[in-house]
Structure 1
Amino acid sequence: MKQTESWRWLNAPQQWTLRDDVLHATTDNETDFWQNTWYGFQRHSGHVYGVEASGDFTFQLRVEGDFTTLYDQAGLMLLIDEHRWLKAGIEYNDDAPMIGSVLTNLNSDWATGIFPARQNHFWLRLTRLKGALRLQYSTDGDVWPLLRLCPFPEAERYFIGAMCCTPGRAGLKVAFSELQLTEPLSRALHDLS
């Protein structure tokens, strides 16, 4: 893993602060990441605070927010460009916070499931290794179930970071902490540590 540039915003929100290693962000109106599928529209206006990286790596963070409105979302995002990316985290739909991910390679898919905890915080971990992505989440920071395993296109550089957006409103307040970009974890697939 090689970090190639300093941390920066893609689509910086109007309101954000970084204090004591905690990033606080408030989403702007009608922000989203999506490409075509089902809805027929394209959006690349969500907020990502990230860093460029190359090779194999693991990125991990803690996310806290009060998700209350349809499609409120926050988590992590990995981008090559506007048409090849993965976002993951909590997204509010069906009257509940759901854990899920969207993988986009020209068109977006969407995989979602019930978030198994009654709390407003969680952790995410993404490992890029051997041409694949291993996405995990945690409700306690100790046990890390698999959320997704998928191939991902090769690129010289990737942009990885904390993501939030609100397609239907403005004003979701999110706190990101414990952001870590490290060498790739090479644990066995079913090792939940």
Structure 2
Amino acid sequence: MSIQHVDWSSGTWLHPPVSVVPGPGGDLVVEPAEGSDLWRHTSYGFVHDDAPALLAPFPVGSAAEVAFHLDYGEQFDQAGVLVRVDERTWVKAGVEVSDGQPQLGAVVTRGVSDWSVAPVPEWTGREVTVRVSRAGDALTVRARAGAEPWRLVRLAPLPPEAVATAGPYCCSPTRGGLRVRFTDWRRGPADAALH
């Protein structure tokens, strides 16, 4: 199985966004609601589970890629890919603005959320692709800007028996008016190796 384009109509919205507008060249421009987010408890004490995400089945042995333009810059604006089992078990990975700059990272949630980030200011204004690969009991997250080499972002457990979905997500915890331009959604076989 090779990497194949996924039509936007193949997904189902977890939470509908404020607006969804087809863009030029097959892009999809998504506006999340003000205050939308995905988070469970840790440090902040709150639970948010209202970010728009366009999800499709994500079986063991497969990978999903989501590409978008990094042209946003307000605190906690974010976009990327969501892998979801249920409201207590999910992983979001992508680029989130924090402390004044874009940060590549992932939130892994199993009852409670944890968060890891690394600054990527040089990715501003570029197309970013986030790839999640599901093999055995693991979810491998990679990302890159343009055609640069993939960077390993996270290795997280995901039970092989879990029924999961995956696809593009975005949210805007602190403001309204964010618009994210997703440029592609692809799926294919899981990565052959971690390294």
Q: 1:158 aligns with which of 150, 154, 164?
A: 164
| 1:11 correspondence with 2:15 | yes
Q: 2:194 aligns with which of 186, 189, 192?
A: 189
Once residues 8 and 22 of structure 1 are traced to their aligned partners in structure 2, the CA distance between those partners, rounded to angstroms, is 17
CA contact (8 A) 1:123 1:141 kept: no
Q: Which residue in 1 is equivalent to 2:39?
A: 34
| 1:179 correspondence with 2:185 | yes
CA contact (8 A) 1:78 1:160 kept: yes
Once residues 29 and 171 of structure 2 are traced to their aligned partners in structure 1, the CA distance between those partners, rounded to angstroms, is 13
CA contact (8 A) 1:65 1:173 kept: no
Once residues 180 and 161 of structure 2 are traced to their aligned partners in structure 1, the CA distance between those partners, rounded to angstroms, is 30
Displacement of 1:33 after TM fit? 0.2
| 1:79 correspondence with 2:88 | no
Deviations 1:37-80 (A, max 9, x none): 00110000001012123222110121114222211110000000
Displacement of 1:142 after TM fit? 4.1
SS, match of residue 110 in structure 1: strand
Once residues 130 and 82 of structure 2 are traced to their aligned partners in structure 1, the CA distance between those partners, rounded to angstroms, is 10
Displacement of 1:152 after TM fit? 1.5
Displacement of 1:116 after TM fit? 5.3
Once residues 8 and 83 of structure 1 are traced to their aligned partners in structure 2, the CA distance between those partners, rounded to angstroms, is 19
Displacement of 1:170 after TM fit? 1.3
Which residues of structure 1 form unaligned runs of 5+? none
Once residues 180 and 133 of structure 2 are traced to their aligned partners in structure 1, the CA distance between those partners, rounded to angstroms, is 23
Poorly superposed stretches of 4+, deviation over 4 Å: none
Displacement of 1:6 after TM fit? 3.5
Deviates more, 1:25-34 or 1:146-155: 146-155
Displacement of 1:185 after TM fit? 2.3
Q: Which residue in 1 is equivalent to 2:102?
A: 97
Displacement of 1:182 after TM fit? 1.3
What does residue range 112-127 of structure 1 map to in structure 2 within 5 Å? Answer: 112-115=117-120, 117-120=122-125, 121-127=127-133
Once residues 91 and 155 of structure 1 are traced to their aligned partners in structure 2, the CA distance between those partners, rounded to angstroms, is 30
| 1:51 correspondence with 2:71 | no
CA contact (8 A) 1:73 1:165 kept: yes
Once residues 118 and 129 of structure 1 are traced to their aligned partners in structure 2, the CA distance between those partners, rounded to angstroms, is 28
Which residues of structure 2 form unaligned runs of 5+? none
SS, match of residue 117 in structure 1: helix
Displacement of 1:22 after TM fit? 1.7
Quote the sequence identity (%).
29
Q: What TM-score do you get using the length of structure 1 for normalisation?
A: 0.89
Q: CA RMSD, aligned part only?
A: 1.9
CA contact (8 A) 2:138 2:158 kept: yes
CA contact (8 A) 1:58 1:125 kept: yes
